Structure 1
Amino acid sequence: MFGDKLHFRREPIWFEVVDPDSPYHALLGRPALAKFMAVPHYAYLNMKITGPKGIITIAGDYQKSLTCAAASSRLTESLVIAEEKHLLDRVVAMTNKQSDMPTDPKDAGTQGSFQPAKETKKIALDPTHPERFSVMGTHLDSK
Structure 2
Amino acid sequence: MAIPHYAYLKMKMPGTKGIITVSGDYKKSAACAAASSRLAESLVIAAERKLLDRVVAMASKQPDLSPDPRESEPQGSFQPAKETKKIPLDPNHSEKFADIGAHLDSK
What is the TM-score of this pair, normalised by structure 2?
0.56
- Structure 2 spans left out of the alignment, 5+ residues: 66-107
Q: Which has the higher contact order (CA 8 A, sep 6+)?
A: 1
Q: Which protein has the bigger strand share?
A: 2
Partner residue in 1 for 2:58: 94
Partner residue in 1 for 2:44: 80
Distance 1:94 1:50 in 2: 61
Counterpart mapping for 1:1-143 below 5 A: 37-99=1-63, 101=64
Corresponding letter in the other structure for 2:46? A
- Structure 1 spans left out of the alignment, 5+ residues: 1-36, 103-143
Corresponding letter in the other structure for 2:15? G
RMSD, aligned α-carbons: 1.9
Give the greater-gyration-radius structure (CA): 1
| Number of positions where the alignment pairs a residue of Structure 1 with one of Structure 2 | 66
Distance 1:59 1:94 in 2: 54
Distance 1:80 1:45 in 2: 29
